[in-house]
């Protein structure tokens, strides 16, 4: 009878173990797990993760198995008199030695991988990554190529309050950019990561690459991707308002396509993408039904949000054609205001709001502001050099700064005259 009861209890414990293993295996798929990745390091990281996971599962099964067995086999109704033994030197040695062996068996391969991750020697390409609120700037060291990468226009329009655009109709909503980082396949790429304003973090899961971007400090990390494709990431640091709108997109292309792309960039040509075909994303498990035809380049008038209710991310500060057209010394107020509004919504509205009221005390109101009503040179200098929480914008063209300065000096009841590109050029040289 006793053996029969013991057998039943052991069967129940075994069933519990098997169920635990089944649940564990169910949650180790791609949907609930870190990606395997597309580089040697990323696969090593995934292997270490799974090794430690299964070690933890095994420990849990043993510990809980012993606990449950003790509860059922030594309950009061079966053993009314408790055991009266105390310490055991052998048991102490065993349960000290086993955890030590487990930790060492995990620490040795983990240390090897960590050493590899920090070894940036013999890189074939170096890219400087600079975080801004709320965009990334990429500089190809030694190639005289650099550009900003910001949230794409389709996502930026759809996220605005009152836009009338269904985010589900926008491909890769909030995880797409206007200009992706392009690197060649099977090439060791070193990243020099820093920031211009606050702490950011450059993270691409498929590469197993994540590094803090700290102002005044340069971190290093590297990758060598062995699969062509498009891979997505995000800023993994809470870097302020609109933090969620600075995604990362990396296009990994053949060495031939990379050389062609780099040649065009050096020649000053605008290249939207280096991919010869649309690639499948490996880092984002996008729902098929959410990936549809791209949104039209211009939103319909009825879809545009009211100005006072529009919330716009700090996106790519590239010179708009309209702003360049308004760069003449004799540019009219109308032209400057039209182009300036576009520059303002792309670079300033996230902090100072679409209606100029700001978010005091950190982001002051521009309505009746002494800065925009005072000397234009002081305003231009602040845009170029930054002040307080406001980052500098030297990357904006003279035409852009002239247009946005004119817009802020003549909107929301302000009436402070025009600023021309020549005025900005004079300040930039100081």
- What are the pLDDT digits (tens) for 370-398? 888 888 888 888 888 887 767 777 778 88
DSSP 193: E
Q: What is the pTM of this model?
A: 0.61
Predicted pLDDT at 389: 66
Point out the least confidently predicted range of 2-6, 8-12, 298-302. Answer: 298-302
Rounded mean pLDDT, 200-215 = 94
Other beta carbons within 10 angstroms of residue 416's beta carbon come to 18
Q: What is the pLDDT of residue 84?
A: 77
Rounded CA separation 83/76 (Å):
11
pLDDT at 383: 87
Q: What is the DSSP letter of 176?
A: -
Please enumerate in sequence order all residues whose Cβ is within 8 A of that of 27, keeping only pairs 6 or more positions apart, or say none. 33
294-320 pLDDT tens trace: 333 333 333 333 333 334 344 444 444
Q: pLDDT tens-digit profile of 63-73? A: 999 999 988 88
Please state the rounded mean pLDDT for residues 200-209.
Answer: 94
Pairing of strands 247-253, 181-184: parallel
pLDDT over 90 at 130, yes or no: yes
pLDDT grade for 360, boundaries at 50, 70 and 90: confident
Contact 46, 35 (CB under 8 A): yes
Mean pLDDT of 81-98: 85
The pLDDT of residue 312: 39
Band of residue 369 on the pLDDT scale cut at 50, 70, 90? confident
CATH 1.10.760.10 for domain 317-428 = yes
Say which residue, 423 or 329, is predicted with more confidence: 423
| Domains of the chain, residue spans | 2-76+87-118, 125-290, 317-428
Instruction: Report pLDDT for 16.
Output: 45
The strand pairing partners of 211, in sequence order, are: 202
Q: What contacts 73, CB < 8 A, 6 or more positions away?
A: 6, 9
Query: What pLDDT sits at residue 133?
Result: 87
Residue 282's pLDDT is what?
Answer: 39
Residue 371, token pair as written in the block: 């800065």
The answer, yes or no, to whether residue 30 has pLDDT greater than 80, is: no
Determine the pLDDT at residue 117. 92
- The Cα–Cα gap between 70 and 74 comes to 5
User: What confidence score (pLDDT) does residue 162 get?
Assistant: 83
DSSP string, 282-326: SS----GGG--SPPPSS--GGGSPPGGG--------PPPHHHHHT
Instruction: Say if CB 215 and CB 132 are below 8 A apart.
Output: no
Secondary element (H or E) of residue 393:
none
Name the one residue in this structure whose structure tokens are 């801004």.
132
Better pLDDT: 299 or 4: 4
Confidence of residue 52 (pLDDT cuts 50, 70, 90): very high
pLDDT tens for 276-288 read: 644 434 333 333 3
The stretches of 320-365 forming alpha helices (DSSP H) are 321-325, 333-347, 349-352
Whether 22 has a pLDDT exceeding 70, the answer reads no
Percent of the chain with pLDDT over 90: 41
pLDDT at 308 (0 to 100) = 34
Query: Mean pLDDT across the stretch 179-206?
Result: 95
End-to-end CA distance of the chain: 97
- What does the pLDDT average to over 194-218? 94
The answer to which of 9-13, 274-278, 357-361 has the lowest mean pLDDT is 9-13
Q: Which of 121-125, 160-164, 230-234 has the lowest mean pLDDT?
A: 160-164
- pLDDT band at 333; cut points 50, 70, 90: confident
Question: Is the pLDDT at 8 greater than 70, yes or no?
Answer: no
* CA dist., res. 292 & res. 128, Å (int): 33
Rounded Cα gap, residues 118 and 190, in angstroms: 10
Whether 353 has a pLDDT exceeding 90, the answer reads: no
> Average pLDDT over the chain, rounded to whole?
79
* Token pair recorded at residue 356: 């100029």
Top mean pLDDT of 19-33, 260-274, 275-289 is at 260-274
Whether the ω angle into residue 43 lies within 30 degrees of 0, i.e. cis, is: no
Evaluate whether 36 touches 42 at the Cβ level (below 8 Å).
yes
What is the C-alpha separation between 154 and 78, in angstroms, rounded? 70
Q: Determine the pLDDT at residue 272.
A: 63
Q: How far apart are CA 339 and CA 333, in angstroms?
A: 10
pLDDT at 80: 77
Q: Is the pLDDT of residue 218 over 80?
A: yes
- Does residue 430 register a pLDDT over 90? no
Q: Which CATH code for domain 125-290?
A: 2.60.40.420
DSSP per-residue string spanning 124-141: SEEEEEEEETTEEEEEET
């Amino acid at each position: 009878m006793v053996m029969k009861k013991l057998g039943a209890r052991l069967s129940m414990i075994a069933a519990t173990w098997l169920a635990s293993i089944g649940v564990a295996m169910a949650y180790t798929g791609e949907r609930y797990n870190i990606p395997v990745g597309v580089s040697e390091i990323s696969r090593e990281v995934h292997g270490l993760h799974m090794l430690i996971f299964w070690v933890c599962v095994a420990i849990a099964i043993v510990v809980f198995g012993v606990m449950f067995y003790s509860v059922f086999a030594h309950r009061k109704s079966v053993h009314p008199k408790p055991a009266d033994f105390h310490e055991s030197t052998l048991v102490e040695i065993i349960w000290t030695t086993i955890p030590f062996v487990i930790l060492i068996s995990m620490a040795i391969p983990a240390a090897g991988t960590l050493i590899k991750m920090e070894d940036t020697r013999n890189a074939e390409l170096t890219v400087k990554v600079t975080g801004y609120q709320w965009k990334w700037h990429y500089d190809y060291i030694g190639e005289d190529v650099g550009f900003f990468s910001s949230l794409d226009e389709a996502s930026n329009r759809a996220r605005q309050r009152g836009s009338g655009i269904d985010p589900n109709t926008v491909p890769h909503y909030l995880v797409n950019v206007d200009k992706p980082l392009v690197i060649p396949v099977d090439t060791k790429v070193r990243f020099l990561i820093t920031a211009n304003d606050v702490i950011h973090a450059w993270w691409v899961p498929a590469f197993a690459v994540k590094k803090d971007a700290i102002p005044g400090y340069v971190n290093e990390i590297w990758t060598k991707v062995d699969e062509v494709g498009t891979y997505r990431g995000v800023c993994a640091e809470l870097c302020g308002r609109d933090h969620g709108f600075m995604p990362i997109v990396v296009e990994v292309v053949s060495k031939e396509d990379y050389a062609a792309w780099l040649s065009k960039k050096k020649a000053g040509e605008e290249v939207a993408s280096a991919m010869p075909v649309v690639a499948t994303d490996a880092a984002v498990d996008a729902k098929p039904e959410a990936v549809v035809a791209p949104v039209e380049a211009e939103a319909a008038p009825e879809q545009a949000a009211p100005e006072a209710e529009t919330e716009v991310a700090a996106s790519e500060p590239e010179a708009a054609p309209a702003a360049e057209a308004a760069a003449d010394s004799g540019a009219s107020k109308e032209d400057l205001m039209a182009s300036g509004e576009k520059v303002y919504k792309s670079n300033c509205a996230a902090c100072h709001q679409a209606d100029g009221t700001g978010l005091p005390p950190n982001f002051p109101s521009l309505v009746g502001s002494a800065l925009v009503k005072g000397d234009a040179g002081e305003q231009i200098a602040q845009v170029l050099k930054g002040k307080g929480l406001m980052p500098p914008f030297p990357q904006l063209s003279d035409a852009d700064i002239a247009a946005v300065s004119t817009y802020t000096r003549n909107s929301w009841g302000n009436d402070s005259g025009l600023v021309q590109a020549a005025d900005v050029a004079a300040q930039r040289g100081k």
